[in-house]
Structure 1
Amino acid sequence: MITIRDVELDGVRVTAEDVARVAWEGAQVLVGADAWERVATCRQMVEELVTSGKVVYGVTTGFGKFSDVHISPEDAVQLQANLIRSHACAVGEPLPEPTVRALMMLRANALVKGYSGIRPETLKLLVNCLNAGVHPVIPSQGSLGASGDLAPLSHLALVLMGEGEAFYQGERLSAAEALAKANLQPITLQAKEGLALINGTQAMASIGTLTLVKALRLAKAADMIAALTTEALRGIPAAFDEDVHRVRPYPEQIGVAANLRTLLQGSRLTTEPGEIRVQDAYSLRCLPQVHGATRQVLGYAQEKLAIEINAATDNPLLFVEEGKVISGGNFHGQPIAFAMDFLKIGMSELANISERRTERLVNPALSGLPAFLSHDPGIASGMMILQYVSASLVSENKVLAHPASVDSIPSSANQEDHVSMGTTAARHCDQVVTNVSKVLAIELICAAEAAEFVGAERLAPATRKLYEQLRAIVPPVLTDRSTSAEIEKVAQELLLGDWQASVEAISGPLY
């Protein structure tokens, strides 16, 4: 029996894989003794600031445009409650449960750094809710991505107060009911705590991190599927020769070329230049260059998210050792907005070239195979409309790939006069990646069907494994049938990454 490892939050070493385990596998989170001490020490600083009456944004003042309004100590509790209630106005479909789990984890990870001033008991309730499966209902729309993800995170904070709604064991309940069923008690937020819970980038970072993990899995799947397509089209692997790629030494291009050589090793379907044709079309011949360029984009997004998920993004930040409280702008989501927009473009292109390979598979003038891979051409349409669906998805991606980060609408009476739209970028990126999974699924189904005509028994060992996994849930399309459910199922398998791992068990580790 496989045991899911706990994830310790220290504000420094959390990885995207950790986030995925908590989000998708239900891993529990822990907070170490050192982190609890940091949180308690920082909280003491807040208490002293409240007592002293020193002007500190969000502690002894109002918020945003109201930052010049002094708040007395006796009004501090009401201030925090009002903040959460007024800001919990997001709209749209609730974020999926895995995304909410990732969001809760990342907010806790930011708090354990010890710069936020939250009480240990408030952090403990957040962690306990996550581990008990009390998942706040967080509408997906309404964040400007600066001052952080205020509206979405307010719905999280609302549940800790015993207000709003939460999912618990499959039921959508009032927060009070959900907490009671989990044997948890709501808290009354004290000075600075409301602000500490909502001033951050965890909505965009949670969506972005889970999207990145899926994108990385799809990038590897794309190489595998493209290798199978290359065989089905009797392609020429000479274009993947190591010498070609060492003279244009992008590491990612070199890595994809190496993947393709490994995946095609032992194939009896690939050809030599001049055997059938002198050179392949770009969608085959330029695989390392295009897939490699997408890998470059993935690397950029990985680098930025690795920083963001371990960052302190509050305002103000409390530096205990230095005795400083500083109002800054770490909540501004511009780095993640750019990363998500860039990732949208890179993944869209992965789908674009996949759709072109699907077209080559179903077009008899390009493939030399029966039209639309039909086993009864004219009577049966075969794979004809699968290519239509793929074309529709890549067209939709081109709209979604429009950058959100180039837009900004001033808010809070122009106090917050430049925002990132990073959460919008992340949401659109997630949709792009979902579409890519379906485009790749369609190519895989078509490539497997084409292999029936050229001889699946002659596939390379690695691609044969991929073909067999596909065939376990998608039998040959000998007569016309609806394939919608099969496309969705294959897309889900590609997003899970298990098929890729099985192929690597045959081929050895891939880049």
Structure 2
Amino acid sequence: MNTVPKTFELGEDWLTASTALAIALGDIKVNLSKATRSKITKSWRIVGNIVEKGHPVYGINTGFGPLCTTKISKEETKILQSNILQSHSVGVGKPIKKEIAKLMLILKVHSLAKGFSGISESTLDRILWHIENDAIPIVPSQGSVGASGDLAPLSHLFLPIIGLGKVQYKGETITTSQLFEKTGLTSIQLGPKEGLALINGTQFIAAHAIKVVEKLHSCLSQADIIGAMMIEGLQGSIKPFYNELHALRPFKGNLHVAKRIKRLLKGSQIMESHADCERVQDPYSLRCIPQVHGASRTAWLHLKELLEIELNSVTDNPIIIDEELTISGGNFHGQPLAMALDYACLAASEIGNISDRRIYLALEGNSPGVPKLLMDDTGINSGYMILQYTTAALASENKGLCFPSSADSIPTSLGQEDHVSMGSISGRKALRVIGNLEKILAIELLTAAQAFEYRKPMKSGILLDKVHKELRKRVSFAKKDRVFADDIEIGIDMIKERTIMKVIEKTKKEKKISFKTPYFNEFEVF
């Protein structure tokens, strides 16, 4: 993980996915410097001057969307901003997770602190209070089309500022009125443009993208480890991972994965035992791990790079450049992240797809010494047969979820907003696919470990041997049928908790094992 400062200067420092997650966990504090506050106040005063002069500027003294030609009087500009939060709070569905809602607050305050949004210091300070006191608004998961900003979810996110909505606070869900009673806070009177600045932006999409970057990174790293264990269990060849091969087709992801697998297999007695066997080549699910895992790594890197630009951008509208220039543009449009999230969704699905193929391969009984269905006494026992049914179902479900949300657009706002990104759906869907992927990888971990066991008393390399021992502390070798759902749940917990990654890291440190590749920074740090 990146080395990050203990205090993050909002509006100034470069925000990454890992930094945002650390802020959400409370490991990093946030601050608004005097220089940043000065920029914020300058932009806020420019908006005040626009109101005084009466020259029409979208969202400041005009209506919204198709009402952009409707002039709003000076006296009504503040009412307009409160009304927009209420009228746009139309979200439906289950609330998003508290962590994602908190990330939305962090991302929004960082963007507003750039000083181009006309927001007031007092409003930003209230958002900071919610972050610092972990009073996180309830935000419905559905209702954003991913353009004009994530209007509905952001409206719900900021209802508590004007005394409405609900929050999660100290372990319970309460109304904002109850929060005010507990804390002594009162509602804020929003100034001109403030309501629009709060709800215009891509923070719902971007917060989901942060979790996609985090969770897909974990799955990719663990898929390499589990795939390497399966290679050992099924006596796959080491040659497809030679640098001499990948230098001839030097995609970064492929090179990175090949080097990782080769390092994981280093020193393995199991691999050495069949170095001179007569098998010419392995099935694709083993032989093409660098090409398939590598392609998904490249997709992950693409999303990570685009996300970091988005996290450090100003995405509301209109933008206050200076006293003379206010621009009504489209920085709120979610297309840049929507397309990348759909790409990442496909990348995650494909890791699950090839994992399911390796599980199936392990059951066939075609590898010397490994019995059909990974159990000696079959007939009365079904062995690991039905675990693959589950991965087949999950892999199929993921394929159905891979249709790109960003390929769709439905006009809204009476045609004023006639092309939208649907990026909010891209983000939610990608996380659903990754959740299924975690389950598939858990089952592959169980099956790889079962196949691995049949290679004893030969030893693996030290890294994979430690991983296998860690699993066996929790899930025993299966000699006969049992309720495998219990084993699967343990495996899923291990994947979610990154247990095998932690085992690898601990062993590397203890044994002083170097594990870097030429692309270490791009692919191991987010």
Distance (whole Å) between structure 2 residues aligned to residue 259 and residue 77 of structure 1: 58
Distance (whole Å) between structure 2 residues aligned to residue 53 and residue 489 of structure 1: 64
Unmatched 5+ stretches in structure 2: 521-526
Distance 1:176 1:6, change over 3 A: farther
TM-score (norm 2): 0.92
Query: Match of 1:299?
Result: 301
Query: Match of 1:250?
Result: 251
Query: Match of 2:20?
Result: 19
- Aligned pairs (5 A) from 1:349-388: 349-365=350-366, 369-388=370-389
TM-superposed CA distance for 1:402, in Å, is: 0.6
1:290 equivalent to 2:296? Answer no
TM-superposed CA distance for 1:106, in Å, is: 0.4
My pick for the range that moved more, 88-97 or 171-180, is 171-180
The one-letter code matched in structure 2 to 1:95 is I
Query: Match of 1:120?
Result: 121
1:314 equivalent to 2:312? Answer no
Query: Match of 1:38?
Result: 39
- Aligned pairs (5 A) from 1:44-443: 44-270=45-271, 272=274, 275=277, 277-320=279-322, 323-365=324-366, 369-443=370-444
Distance (whole Å) between structure 1 residues aligned to residue 377 and residue 31 of structure 2: 60
Q: Is the 8 A contact 1:39 1:113 kept in 2?
A: yes
Query: Match of 2:479?
Result: 478
User: Counterpart of 2:418 in 1: which secondary structure?
Assistant: coil
TM-superposed CA distance for 1:375, in Å, is: 4.8
Q: Deviations over 1:194-218 (max 9, x none)?
A: 0010000000000011111111121
TM-score (norm 1): 0.95
Unmatched 5+ stretches in structure 1: none
Distance 1:352 1:367, change over 3 A: farther
Q: Is the 8 A contact 2:6 2:27 kept in 1?
A: no
TM-superposed CA distance for 1:25, in Å, is: 5.7
Distance (whole Å) between structure 1 residues aligned to residue 406 and residue 339 of structure 2: 6
Query: What's the % identity of the aligned pairs?
Result: 39
My pick for the range that moved more, 259-268 or 367-376, is 367-376
User: Counterpart of 1:385 in 2: which secondary structure?
Assistant: helix
Distance 1:255 1:191, change over 3 A: same
TM-superposed CA distance for 1:183, in Å, is: 4.6
The one-letter code matched in structure 2 to 1:53 is G
My pick for the range that moved more, 60-69 or 44-53, is 44-53
User: Counterpart of 1:405 in 2: which secondary structure?
Assistant: helix
TM-superposed CA distance for 1:464, in Å, is: 1.1
User: Counterpart of 1:93 in 2: which secondary structure?
Assistant: strand
Distance 1:474 1:93, change over 3 A: same
User: Counterpart of 1:413 in 2: which secondary structure?
Assistant: helix
Query: Match of 1:509?
Result: 515
TM-superposed CA distance for 1:504, in Å, is: 3.3
The one-letter code matched in structure 1 to 2:51 is V
Q: Deviations over 1:440-459 (max 9, x none)?
A: 11101111111122217511
Q: Is the 8 A contact 2:56 2:62 kept in 1?
A: yes
User: Counterpart of 1:61 in 2: which secondary structure?
Assistant: coil
Distance (whole Å) between structure 1 residues aligned to residue 26 and residue 379 of structure 2: 47
Q: Is the 8 A contact 2:475 2:490 kept in 1?
A: no
Q: Is the 8 A contact 1:314 1:331 kept in 2?
A: yes
Distance 1:497 1:34, change over 3 A: farther
Task: State the superposition RMSD in angstroms.
Answer: 1.9
TM-superposed CA distance for 1:324, in Å, is: 1.0
Distance (whole Å) between structure 2 residues aligned to residue 475 and residue 183 of structure 1: 55
TM-superposed CA distance for 1:254, in Å, is: 1.1
TM-superposed CA distance for 1:347, in Å, is: 1.2
My pick for the range that moved more, 141-150 or 13-22, is 13-22
Distance 1:493 1:50, change over 3 A: farther
Q: Is the 8 A contact 1:104 1:130 kept in 2?
A: yes
TM-superposed CA distance for 1:393, in Å, is: 0.8
The one-letter code matched in structure 2 to 1:296 is T
Q: Is the 8 A contact 1:437 1:492 kept in 2?
A: no
Distance 1:267 1:293, change over 3 A: same
Distance 1:445 1:413, change over 3 A: same
User: Counterpart of 1:299 in 2: which secondary structure?
Assistant: helix
The one-letter code matched in structure 1 to 2:379 is G
Distance 1:476 1:23, change over 3 A: farther
Q: Is the 8 A contact 1:132 1:182 kept in 2?
A: no
Q: Is the 8 A contact 2:270 2:458 kept in 1?
A: no
Number of equivalences: 508
The one-letter code matched in structure 2 to 1:358 is I
Q: Is the 8 A contact 2:369 2:454 kept in 1?
A: no
The one-letter code matched in structure 1 to 2:217 is L
Query: Match of 2:465?
Result: 464
Q: Is the 8 A contact 1:91 1:142 kept in 2?
A: yes
TM-superposed CA distance for 1:475, in Å, is: 2.4
Distance (whole Å) between structure 2 residues aligned to residue 174 and residue 74 of structure 1: 30
User: Counterpart of 1:454 in 2: which secondary structure?
Assistant: coil
My pick for the range that moved more, 99-108 or 31-40, is 31-40
Q: Deviations over 1:215-258 (max 9, x none)?
A: 11211111111110000001110111111111111122111111
TM-superposed CA distance for 1:433, in Å, is: 1.1
Distance 1:219 1:397, change over 3 A: same
Distance (whole Å) between structure 1 residues aligned to residue 39 and residue 438 of structure 2: 42
User: Counterpart of 1:130 in 2: which secondary structure?
Assistant: helix
The one-letter code matched in structure 2 to 1:379 is I
